[in-house]
Structure 1
Amino acid sequence: MLRDSIPAYGPYWLRDARVHSAFLTEMPGPRDAEGLCRVDIQVDDGRIAGIEPEGTAPEEGVHVQMRGGQVWPGLVDAHTHLDKGHIWPRTSNPDGTFGGAINAVMSDRGANWSEEDIRARFEWGLRASFHHGTVAIRTHLDSYLPHGRNAWRVFRRLRDEWAGRITLQASSIAPLDRFQGDEGEELADLVAANGGVLGMVTRLTGGLHDDLPSDFQPMLDRFFQLAEDRGLEMDLHVDESGDSGARALREIALTAQRRGFKKPVQVGHCCSLSLQPEAFARETIKAVADAGLSVVVLPMCNMYLQGRAAGRTPRWRGVTLVHEMRAAGVRVSVASDNCRDPFYAYGDHDMLEVYRESTRILQLDHPIGDWPAAAARRPADAMGLREHGRIAVNNAADLILLNGRFMTEVLSRPNTDRVVIRNGRTVDSALPDWRELDTVVGMA
């Protein structure tokens, strides 16, 4: 088996592998119609020592025969909610709607989210992510005060404990109006003190993503000011609805340009854009491109939530205009979002699953183009992690080895037989068992 052929020590070659050009910083040879390059990869001292055209590896030394199977870099999950994951068994979503999810999470947070509870579920998600081959994660933390202090303490401890296995970042999440007045100062200081990213949702407390309130712009400027004063990056939940009145994305892009905001800004969801008039959508996408915003889409979660009504088949996929954004030069990533909580009843922190399902939902094929980068290189760049999400000489040998040779093979199966390599060695881990959380979520 492929797993058993990786040596426990010493250098080796991955011979006759396919690597998608979207993961490569330099092209070692020609690529086929799907963008795949046939290569030999040398691994030495935990790093990638060479990437050569297939068939050029020397005969001496240890060889791992890939037989044309694909090699992917460790993947990057730029938008998750590890603090609320896996509460579904004790607090489900009664109707599967966005409003139902908000109410369920608020109820569960008030009743159950001690530091011990958050840590148990948070770390379970990290273990699953690591097993699947994720090397970096940005998680949003519910930062309603006073609860938010608990979440940030848990994050800080786990960030340190998991250093070297998963690079962990965190962003605050709370409604925009929470950042007004003294509470906003306290929230921004909390984020800054913990090395975080300032984040919010473009709805107000108790509301949904619909028509912008009359005082939206001054509240948005106040949020930008909080970030500017502390030198913080921003990560925003934007227009997560099918309401054409949800038009915050354009205002965020224009505000970033007007203020000359210098730090990176990532925006997530942006669902309502796909239901806007064409002229307004084009204008918004141009503003996003001009402002240099990064967009992260969460297709599994949004297809689950959006357009849901009892007894009615959904009429749209709940996702934004990713192809139009890429054509305009916008950096677009895909991410896992919620796992087994009221916002999404499923999920297993598996970025290969996210990419596979994103291809089907968003039609990221015919051609494949550079869309594989949306699960690796692009989110890494959005998070400022320039060595992650790519396969390059001198980078750490953090890799995923797949039996699938062509994109249709990789995209047709869950790839449960993948081999995860970290620092050149096979990861010997097991997926965490759901039963481990039984006492945490009240199932025991």
Structure 2
Amino acid sequence: MTLPLTHLRAAQPDNYWLCNARLPLACLDAATPLRTPIAELAAPPRLEDWVAAHLHIQSGAIAAIAPATSTPDDDLPRYDLGQGLVWPCFTDCHTHLDKGQTWLRSPNPDGTFAAALDAATADHRHWSAADLYSRMSFGLRCSYAHGTQAVRTHLDCLDGQEKTSFAVFDQLRQEWADRLTLQAVCLVSMDYYDRPEAEQLADTVAQYGGILGGVIYPQPGLEAQIDRAFALAEARGLDLDFHADESLNPEAEGLRIVAETKLRRRFAGQVNCGHCCSLSVQATDRAQSTLALLKTAGVSVVSLPMCNLYLQDRQQGRMPRYRGVTLLPELRQFEVAVALASDNCRDAFFAYGDHDMVEVFNQSVRIGQLDRPIGGWPQAVTRTPAQIMGLDVGLIGAGRPADLVVFKARNLSELLARPQSDRIVIRQGTAIDTTLPDYAELDAVVGIS
């Protein structure tokens, strides 16, 4: 019996087929024998690699993947996707849940990076456990409804804030354990690693199973500060995740120092760097030298195009000349693991955003000209960020959990032309409620009457 996809959420079957689907070839598990893309899509004019398939969903997992040319030989319910796309659920590996949803309380007066820092710092006075819980929970509800299955958030940790923020994070991690995998990174200025308090911070991060991090920009003693962060991480078995070179200063080369430090210390943990904007304004040979170092060192990069485009090269009354987005195609060419993420949402660093990885992918493809062909870029919001987080998710394959996002869109043009508000999110085989939280819920939290 073939049914329209709209019946799936109401029926909530445990054993069924998703028929006539199109899967991104880049997100297909290599262990899956079905490897034939649709020739007419992979060829001009579309230049898109999709796999035509039926998915058998049983007991929360993908039981089998069959070619779309076949016909299931059982009496299970069949939901016809009409060639609609099916993606694995998303991973968002760089967010700021603790800052999120504060725009109306502490807006950025001129949209610049400097003003964002001032506004965010001033907002810290409101950061009680109750305030953080309400806003961070709101962000997680958005992520979940949009189809995300794992989130890494950075937490501001200056002046003892880590005690409150990590405790709230841990509470949320436990509450969301059956729906979202959550990780936290401490966020401090790198000169914090000159202080004796850095030991205590590292201990707190280790206590909560977090990641050590910091904001890297040119300053005296930077190399020693980065080395100190590595030493503290080594001693506690922690990974590292830095904000690196978030500016248009070509002399900002923290990314290079991180790679060199990882190689020199033979650091065995995962090292990730976010932003890396200055690469975009450096001389080609210098930038390529750094890219080669990243590859050798095994340092991954996460790009935040929406936030960087919002902040970088902003001057009142003047059209920005530079995008501030790192070298996405070049990172791929040098085989550096590169992900895309949402970053700030509705705070002083970015007035917009909704923790929606479809929007992130949509805007990133346009900003970075990542299509023609789209190639492996679907991995940048699925498999690659999952690997950065040390997770084995973000692929579609037999035996894997049925954590999927189903679209009516049948190709890249249709996917990126609309916001996909009618997507169906399937978690462990069950279509979830994708109703987003109402902004009015935050009125009392942010002081709106």
TM over 0.5: yes
How many pairs does the alignment contain? 434
Deviation at 1:380, TM superposition (A): 0.4
1:376 paired with 2:363, answer no
| Counterpart in the other structure of 1:194 | 208
Alignment match of 1:66 (pick from 81, 90, 102): 81
Alpha-carbon separation, structure 2, partners of 1:192 and 1:236: 16
Deviation at 1:279, TM superposition (A): 1.3
1:241 paired with 2:244, answer no
Alpha-carbon separation, structure 2, partners of 1:53 and 1:219: 54
> Following superposition of structure 1 onto structure 2, how do residues 50-199 of structure 1 map, counting pairs within 5 Å?
50-59=64-73, 60-109=75-124, 111-199=125-213
Alignment match of 1:416 (pick from 418, 421, 437): 421
Secondary structure of 2:295's counterpart equals helix
1:376 to 1:62, Cα distance in 2 relative to 1, 3 A: same
Secondary structure of 1:261's counterpart equals coil
8 Å Cα contact 2:19/2:53 also seen in 1: yes
| Counterpart in the other structure of 2:45 | none
Secondary structure of 2:136's counterpart equals helix
1:36-84 per-position Cα deviation (integer Å, ceiling 9, x unaligned): 0000100000000001111324242110101100001110000000011
1:67 to 1:429, Cα distance in 2 relative to 1, 3 A: closer
> Following superposition of structure 1 onto structure 2, how do residues 322-401 of structure 1 map, counting pairs within 5 Å?
322-386=328-392, 388-401=393-406
8 Å Cα contact 1:15/1:57 also seen in 2: no
1:175 to 1:403, Cα distance in 2 relative to 1, 3 A: same
Alpha-carbon separation, structure 2, partners of 1:242 and 1:340: 23
1:111-136 per-position Cα deviation (integer Å, ceiling 9, x unaligned): 20100000000000000111100000
Percent identity over the alignment is 47
Q: What amino acid does structure 1 have at the position aligned with 2:355? A: H
8 Å Cα contact 2:155/2:187 also seen in 1: yes
Deviation at 1:331, TM superposition (A): 0.6
Gaps of 5+ in 1: 204-211
Alpha-carbon separation, structure 2, partners of 1:96 and 1:199: 25
Alpha-carbon separation, structure 2, partners of 1:27 and 1:274: 40
Report the TM-score, using the length of structure 2 for normalisation. 0.95
Alpha-carbon separation, structure 1, partners of 2:224 and 2:118: 27
Deviation at 1:322, TM superposition (A): 1.0
1:223 paired with 2:238, answer no
> Following superposition of structure 1 onto structure 2, how do residues 2-21 of structure 1 map, counting pairs within 5 Å?
2-6=5-9, 7-21=11-25
RMSD: 1.0
Alpha-carbon separation, structure 2, partners of 1:234 and 1:29: 36
Secondary structure of 2:444's counterpart equals coil
Q: What amino acid does structure 2 have at the position aligned with 1:285? A: L
Deviation at 1:214, TM superposition (A): 3.7
Alpha-carbon separation, structure 1, partners of 2:196 and 2:256: 27
8 Å Cα contact 1:13/1:57 also seen in 2: no
> Following superposition of structure 1 onto structure 2, how do residues 259-274 of structure 1 map, counting pairs within 5 Å?
259-274=265-280
Deviation at 1:10, TM superposition (A): 2.8
Alpha-carbon separation, structure 2, partners of 1:242 and 1:43: 48
Q: What amino acid does structure 1 have at the position aligned with 2:128? A: S
**Which is worse superposed, 364-373 or 141-150?**
141-150
1:321-370 per-position Cα deviation (integer Å, ceiling 9, x unaligned): 11111101101100000000000000011001100110000111001001
Alpha-carbon separation, structure 2, partners of 1:94 and 1:104: 8
Secondary structure of 2:331's counterpart equals helix
Alpha-carbon separation, structure 2, partners of 1:120 and 1:299: 27
Secondary structure of 1:430's counterpart equals coil
Alpha-carbon separation, structure 2, partners of 1:31 and 1:429: 30
1:398 to 1:175, Cα distance in 2 relative to 1, 3 A: same
Secondary structure of 2:416's counterpart equals helix
Runs of 4+ in structure 1 deviating by more than 3 angstroms, as ranges, are: none
> Following superposition of structure 1 onto structure 2, how do residues 298-337 of structure 1 map, counting pairs within 5 Å?
298-337=304-343
Alpha-carbon separation, structure 1, partners of 2:382 and 2:71: 27
8 Å Cα contact 2:14/2:430 also seen in 1: no
Secondary structure of 1:391's counterpart equals coil
1:256-280 per-position Cα deviation (integer Å, ceiling 9, x unaligned): 0011000011100000111001111
Gaps of 5+ in 2: 43-47
Deviation at 1:27, TM superposition (A): 4.8
8 Å Cα contact 1:289/1:329 also seen in 2: yes
1:243-302 per-position Cα deviation (integer Å, ceiling 9, x unaligned): 112111111101100110000111000001110011110111000111001100000000
Report the TM-score, using the length of structure 1 for normalisation. 0.96
Alpha-carbon separation, structure 2, partners of 1:194 and 1:379: 21
8 Å Cα contact 1:15/1:55 also seen in 2: no
Alpha-carbon separation, structure 2, partners of 1:429 and 1:309: 38
Alignment match of 1:280 (pick from 286, 309, 313): 286
